[in-house]
Amino acid sequence: MKKPLAFAFAFFLALPLFADVKVVSVKGVAGYLSGGKLQPLAVGMSLANDATVVTGANSELGLQINNGTITLKALTTAKLSGISLSDSASSADVAIRSGTVVSDVKQIKGLKTNFTVSTPVGTSSVRGTEHSVSYSRERGMQVSVLTGIVDVDSVRSAARPVTAGNGFVQAPGAPPLVAAQAALAASSTSAIAAFAPGSDSSTGIAADPLSSQLNGFINAVSGSPGSGTLSLFLLFP
């Protein structure tokens, strides 16, 4: 009887555990796409494996994904996928359409972690670290590593390690650049302007259509008077 019991126990351990995505914090307004419509998010809610989440202006959304947490900064659109969890492995991907995602993934002994943050021009792979990834069509991708090591690859380069205190920049139409943290900080103002609603008169950057649509979403869920139609189209690579 011992062998069958041992086999059954080992089989049980090999089964995937419940991979849960839970909302742990909401600042301002955040929603998820369901049936072509945005639905508001609140602390304690769970999200599906293929959920698309959006944050409004001056808003942030915190999500717990397996052994990591992510924070979606203001005016960020991202899709969650590939989320799974077993006794030996944890996987998740956060695909950014635009905006900024900060991740904090814990390295757990015996747990193989494959946590990626992807953009249309590159991907960062995390196994236990804190880092942020920003993306816009006008500014490209920026990766900033706070602790640990992140493997970054882009459409213009093979995978390379980026250590704490350093960053990676993949600008549109330019080769990738590994830059010091100070260099990333110097360019942060223009990157933030690219994600903000309206237009940047100094650079001539047109507003992201999503920004104006989010204003309607914010008014709708906050109970502001008036009526109207909100049309949202999200494209992922």
Set out the domains of the chain in order of their start, with CATH numbers: 18-221 (2.60.120.1440)
Q: Is residue 44 within 8 Å of 15, Cβ to Cβ?
A: no
Top pLDDT among 56 and 189 is at 56
Q: Is residue 26 within 8 Å of 58, Cβ to Cβ?
A: no
pLDDT tens digits for range 30-88? 999 988 888 999 999 999 988 999 999 999 999 999 888 999 999 999 999 999 988 88
On whether the pTM is more than 0.75, the answer is no
The residue written with tokens 């933030």 in the block is 192
pLDDT tens digits for range 117-132? 999 999 999 877 889 9
Top pLDDT among 4 and 189 is at 4
